């Protein structure tokens, strides 16, 4: 039963993480290949504050603000550029942030990591057991889903899709493409931060090794497998992939196998991305009202 609840918590956290990336990659057409950075920034911020006895409500808010702020700072130099450049800048950013976690030992304890992150207390209610935590994440996931749905069905959301389909046409209609992209990127970073905070307080131990390219690849795969630019795509993708990943951990395979199993599993993720892109780029669920030949 605990295993089942654990699976549910992980899946829901990744649903939030994937929904935030879906806003950027799926709806706005931003090539964000360093999404793990914002997940990590918030996880660290909230963990460090909570370890200093700052109440959870406050540390959550500051963690979200930090993710949003860094998203904003990164987007200024890089979002004016065409997709390839943006992709490589975000990819690099993801690596650099991990380097900071690793090197600033006085602050983050470096490779030792941060143990003993307290379970959250929200409005004097402590979410300590698995089922309580599941309720908490479920609440936040529903909130994220609703907020993103409102955003994407508003005129703002339509502009984002217009930018994705044809940047020049959107510009010609008087939309400042650059600002819309920044807003989308900052909102995406905020929700990635929410996922990161929830994850940090759930595992109670974080270290730089938790925020590698693997996380970026995994969340990207969730989005494109489920169906980018769809409301339920990230949900479906997270169910399939997190179930696969987490259940491998509980098979109790001999320890010497992990040396081979971990890279093998990651090879499967990489290969799956390639195969999907070649044979079914739209993913399992297809975005409504979008022709098969839509693109740039």
Partner 1 sequence: MDFLFQSILNGILAGCIYALFAMGLTLIYGVLNFVNFAHGELIMWGAYFLYFLMGKPFGFPLPIALIPALLLTILLGIGMDRFVFKPLRTANRLTLLIAALGLSFLLRNGAQFLWGAELRTYGFEIKRGLRILGISITLNQVAIILTSIVCIVFVYLLFHRTRLGKSMRAVSDNLELARVMGIDSKHAIQFAWVIASVLAGVGGILLALDTNLQPGMGLINLVKAFAATLLGGVGNIWGALLGGIVIGLAENLGVLVISPGYKDAIAFGIMVLMLLIRPSALLGRQE
Select the span of 5-13, 146-154, 184-192, 276-284 touching partner 1 (CB under 8 A).
276-284
CB of 293 to partner 1, least distance (A): 9
CB of 234 to partner 1, least distance (A): 15
Positions 73 through 102 that interact with partner 1 (CB under 8 A): 76-78, 80-85, 87-89, 91-93, 95-96, 99, 102
DSSP letter for each residue of 78-92: HTTS-HHHHHHHHHH
Name the helix (H) or strand (E) containing 121.
strand 121-122
122 SS3 class: strand
126 SS3 class: strand
Helical H segments across the chain, by residue range: 2-21, 36-51, 56-78, 83-103, 105-108, 130-153, 155-165, 167-172, 177-203, 213-226, 233-249, 255-279
Nearest CB to partner 1, comparing residues 169 and 277: 277
> Interface with partner 1 includes 150 (CB under 8 A)?
no
CA distances from 24 to 43, 196, 283 (A): 20, 17, 16
Nearest CB to partner 1, comparing residues 52 and 296: 296
Positions 190 through 229 that interact with partner 1 (CB under 8 A): 213, 217, 220-221, 224
Positions 173 through 192 that interact with partner 1 (CB under 8 A): none
CB of 182 to partner 1, least distance (A): 14
CB of 268 to partner 1, least distance (A): 9
CB of 259 to partner 1, least distance (A): 7
Tokens of 189: 């970073």
CB 9 within 8 A of CB 193: no
> Interface with partner 1 includes 272 (CB under 8 A)?
yes
d(CA 89, CA 54): 33
CB of 271 to partner 1, least distance (A): 5
Q: Which residues pair with 121 in a beta bridge?
A: 126
Query: Applying CB under 8 A, which residues contact partner 1?
Result: 25, 29, 31, 33, 76-78, 80-85, 87-89, 91-93, 95-96, 99, 102-103, 213, 217, 220-221, 224, 259-260, 262-264, 266-267, 269-274, 277-278, 281, 295-296
């Amino acid at each position: 039963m605990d295993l089942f609840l654990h699976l549910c918590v992980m899946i829901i956290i990744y649903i939030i993480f994937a929904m935030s990336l879906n806003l950027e990659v799926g709806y706005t057409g931003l090539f964000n290949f360093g999404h793990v950075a914002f997940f990590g920034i918030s996880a660290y911020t909230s963990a460090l504050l909570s370890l200093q006895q700052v109440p959870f409500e406050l540390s959550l808010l500051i963690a979200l603000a930090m993710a949003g702020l860094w998203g904003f700072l990164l987007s200024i130099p890089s979002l004016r550029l065409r997709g390839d450049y943006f992709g490589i800048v975000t990819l690099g950013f993801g690596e650099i942030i991990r380097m900071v976690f690793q090197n600033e030992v006085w602050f983050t304890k470096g490779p030792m990591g941060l143990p003993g992150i307290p379970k959250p207390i929200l409005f004097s209610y402590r979410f300590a057991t698995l089922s309580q935590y599941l309720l908490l994440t479920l609440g936040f996931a529903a909130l994220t889903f609703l907020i993103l749905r409102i955003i994407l069905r508003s005129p703002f959301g339509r502009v984002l899709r217009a930018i994705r389909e044809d940047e020049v046409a959107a510009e010609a209609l008087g939309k400042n493409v650059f600002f819309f992209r920044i807003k989308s990127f900052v909102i995406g970073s905020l929700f990635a931060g929410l996922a990161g905070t929830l994850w940090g307080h759930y595992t109670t131990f974080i270290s730089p090794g938790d925020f590698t390219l693997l996380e970026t690849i995994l969340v990207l795969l969730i989005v494109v497998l489920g169906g980018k630019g769809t409301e339920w795509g990230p949900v479906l993708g997270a169910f399939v992939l997190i179930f696969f990943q987490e259940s491998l951990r509980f098979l109790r395979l001999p320890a010497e196998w992990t040396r081979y199993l971990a890279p093998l599993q990651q090879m499967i993720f990489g290969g799956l991305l390639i195969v999907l892109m070649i044979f079914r780029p739209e993913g399992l669920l297809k975005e409504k009202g979008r022709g098969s030949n839509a693109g740039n």
